[in-house]
C-alpha cells in the first residue's frame, strides 16, 4: 500500500510541475474569480511550454529534477495535463447556463 501511495504522490508532483510550466507558457490560465485552471486552447503556448521544459532539463533546473533528465517523460506529462485541464471553469459554466 505504501508503494502505491508513493507512486501516486510522485505522479501528482510531476503533474504539478507540468502544470506550472503550462501556466508559465500561458497554455493554461487561472481564473481570477474561482482559481480554477483553464485550458487556454493555444497550441503555440503549448509549444512554448515544451521549449521551456526542454530548456529546464538542459539547465538541470531543480524544478524538474523529479523527471531525472527524461525529456520525453516531461513533455508527455505536459501534454497529458494540458489535455486534462477543463476548457471552462465552474464560474464560466454557471454564467453560461
Total-model pTM: 0.87
| Ranges under pLDDT 50 in the chain | none
pLDDT at 88: 84
DSSP H helix total and E strand total for the chain: 4, 2
What are the structural domain ranges in the chain?
A: 2-95
Q: What pLDDT sits at residue 91?
A: 81
CA-CA distance, 69 to 11, in Å (whole number)? 16
pLDDT at residue 89 in the model: 80
Total residues found in the chain within this entry: 97
| 3-class SS of residue 37 | strand
Residue 20's pLDDT is 97
Residues 11-38: pLDDT tens digits?
999 999 999 999 999 999 998 888 889 9
- The pLDDT, as a whole number, for residue 62 is 97
Amino acid at each position: 500500500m505504501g508503494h502505491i501511495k508513493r507512486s501516486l504522490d510522485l505522479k501528482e508532483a510531476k503533474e504539478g510541475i507540468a502544470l506550472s510550466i503550462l501556466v508559465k507558457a500561458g497554455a493554461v490560465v487561472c481564473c481570477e474569480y474561482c482559481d480554477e485552471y483553464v485550458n487556454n486552447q493555444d497550441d503555440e503556448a503549448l509549444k512554448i511550454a515544451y521549449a521551456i521544459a526542454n530548456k529546464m532539463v538542459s539547465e538541470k533546473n531543480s524544478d524538474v529534477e523529479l523527471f531525472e533528465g527524461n525529456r520525453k517523460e516531461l513533455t508527455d506529462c505536459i501534454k497529458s495535463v494540458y489535455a486534462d485541464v477543463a476548457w471552462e471553469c465552474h464560474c464560466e459554466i454557471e454564467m453560461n447556463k
